[in-house]
Structure 1
Amino acid sequence: MKEVNIHLISDFTCDMLMNISSVLGSQFPNVKINRFFHQFIRSIDQADDIILSLKANPGIILFSVLSDEIEEVISKASSEIQNCKIIPLMDYMLSEMSSHIGIKSEKISRSAAISQDYFARMNAMSFTINHDDGRLAEESDEADIVLIGVSRTSKSPTSIYLAHKGYKVANIPFVAENLMPKNLLLAKNPLIIGLNIDHERLIWLRESRMQTDGTFGMSMQYNDTESVIDELREFRRYCGKLGCVTIDVTKKSIEEVAAYIIKIYQTHKE
């Protein structure tokens, strides 16, 4: 099997380059991809180690560093190493965008450009963790999004996924209408989403949990068919009372559910 070395060079994390290299690699199923990660490259001093790695493992270079000085050093070195090919992704994208809009890019430091977004996401993550599983429900009006649903509808993982995208999320488990926070009926700021699910799928999930975690603290109705059907019926009535959007999560991944929620949220804020 043919092997190809791919060096991922970025002035931040290599996540974007990793995704690109994965897509590229998938188009060559009979080629083994060896990846070399060079992240947070922000000074000329760091170029020496990269050049040594290129000499030892020549191959394709996916380059995403905004510094012209660093790019010049790496480009010159790679041109002198046999079987090295540099692909300056950021330069290409900036050039194409600049050509399209007729404005030259400023090449602002990546760390400066992302700092505001980074701290917003960290704030969202902190808020979401503190408002998980019904905690501090009285503060739910401060959230961007409130998720409600019966047990085992992926409220917490969906909340964390959305928080990583920068949304402040509170999630509240539905047990019975009379136990739900009264302030939800008056909430004006957050988008409230009900996570709905098919009763058969819910029973299967709950039985799987019982096999894994045991039955301590769980009522006899937790996986009883009639009780689950009644529980979901009451939940749907409550969502109707709130006038909130519901999403059927039965056959959807967390990523799919989150993408749908984000789309609704964008409309909600307009």
Structure 2
Amino acid sequence: MKKGVSIILSEKEVVYVVSDSVGETAEFVVKAVATQFNGGYVDIRRHSYAEDKEDIEEVIAMARQTNSIIAYTIVIPQLKKYLDQRASEEGIMAVDLLNPLMESFMKRFKKEPNHQPKLLRKLDDEYFRRVEAIEFAVKYDDGRDPRGVMRADIVLIGVSRTSKTPLSMYLAHQGFKVANVPLVPEVSPPEELFKIPRNKCVGLVITPDKLNEIRKERLKALGLRSEANYASFERILVELEYSEKIMKRVGCPVINVSNKAVEETANLIIDILKSERSR
């Protein structure tokens, strides 16, 4: 036997679960139904990744020997048609678990299905990729660990309050692993920053006026005096001049975030990186 077919010697009634993907959905439905018949009433035998007529014939032969039901989730039209035809010819009960709902979707929403197997698995993979990216962004936020610079898809650099963290999180939800590094005159940037390809890094700049405004509001929120050095024009100009030197040394593209929403800046970053990498 192949492709995930399991044979279990048992006196239970047998249901063959057939799918052009993993078959988890079909097995779950069959188990749910089986619980209505004193639970554990059936022996479920999964046949995953059915791709051609040979796979169907294999299941038909086994189901015929055990006088079983075939429950299936097949979205490839030709394969579904062949299974229905062969089951009818052999007098085997075959139940399509998707088609009734699929047809309801088509009638109500006036759309045609993709008829592509494994799409649910792709969605699951995307979900876990986003979760991994979010965890990465948290771990390598604010220059906490310079190793993240080498491992990231995108590295953001800039002075404090240039939206590095919100951008990192937003991009992480898009599936990008992002590290961000604050640029502070008194602290040398990690050497890793100068070892990565220039098209992997983006510098974030802002006008002095806007940064002064943002920092004053930040100090107020923290219950501190707005006249603190952190928000002074002199300090801001020093930081911006320093960050400009670092960005030139890195050779990375630069975005002015002064009057941009996080979403807008994130889209610009993605566009810039795509254009840089296509060269």
**Structure 2 length as normaliser, TM-score?**
0.60
**What stretches of structure 2 of length at least 5 have no aligned partner?**
1-24, 33-74, 76-97
Partners of 2:106 and 2:193 lie apart in 1 by 58
Residue 122 of structure 1: SS of its match in structure 2?
helix
Task: Return the letter of the residue paired with 2:257.
Answer: V
Deviation per residue, 1:164-222 (Å, 9 max, x gap): 11110001111127521122111238711111001100000000011111239x99421
Greater shift, 118-127 or 152-161, is seen at: 118-127
Task: Return the letter of the residue paired with 1:144.
Answer: D
Residues 152, 179 of structure 2: 8 Å contact kept? yes
Residues 108 and 152 (structure 1), Cα distance of their counterparts in 2 relative to 1, 3 Å cut: same
Residues 197 and 119 (structure 1), Cα distance of their counterparts in 2 relative to 1, 3 Å cut: same
* Alignment of 1:212 onto 2:221: yes
* Alignment of 1:71 onto 2:102: yes
The one of 243, 251, 270 equivalent to 1:262 is: 270
Residues 113 and 183 (structure 1), Cα distance of their counterparts in 2 relative to 1, 3 Å cut: closer
Aligned ranges 1:39-58 → 2 under 5 Å: none
Task: Return the letter of the residue paired with 2:101.
Answer: I
Residues 210 and 267 (structure 1), Cα distance of their counterparts in 2 relative to 1, 3 Å cut: same
Task: Look up the match of 2:235.
Answer: 227
Task: Return the letter of the residue paired with 1:173.
Answer: P
How far off is 1:119 after superposition? 2.1
Aligned ranges 1:8-27 → 2 under 5 Å: none
Task: Look up the match of 2:117.
Answer: 108
Task: Look up the match of 1:247.
Answer: 255
Residues 148, 192 of structure 1: 8 Å contact kept? yes
User: Which stretches of structure 1, 4 residues or more, deviate above 4 A after TM superposition?
Assistant: 42-45, 73-76
Task: Return the letter of the residue paired with 2:243.
Answer: F
The one of 126, 131, 134 equivalent to 1:125 is: 134
Residue 255 of structure 2: SS of its match in structure 1?
strand
Greater shift, 186-195 or 244-253, is seen at: 186-195
Residues 143, 190 of structure 1: 8 Å contact kept? no
Deviation per residue, 1:135-179 (Å, 9 max, x gap): 112331110100011111110010011011111000111112752
Task: Look up the match of 2:194.
Answer: 185
Root-mean-square deviation (CA), in Å? 2.9
Select the structure of larger CA radius of gyration: 2
**Structure 1 length as normaliser, TM-score?**
0.62
Greater shift, 107-116 or 246-255, is seen at: 107-116
Partners of 2:227 and 2:188 lie apart in 1 by 17
The number of equivalent residue pairs is 187
Residues 177, 234 of structure 1: 8 Å contact kept? no
Residues 135 and 72 (structure 1), Cα distance of their counterparts in 2 relative to 1, 3 Å cut: same
**What stretches of structure 1 of length at least 5 have no aligned partner?**
1-39, 46-65, 77-85, 95-104
Partners of 2:124 and 2:117 lie apart in 1 by 12
Partners of 1:144 and 1:161 lie apart in 2 by 14
How far off is 1:107 after superposition? 3.3
Task: Return the letter of the residue paired with 1:87.
Answer: F
Task: Return the letter of the residue paired with 2:204.
Answer: L
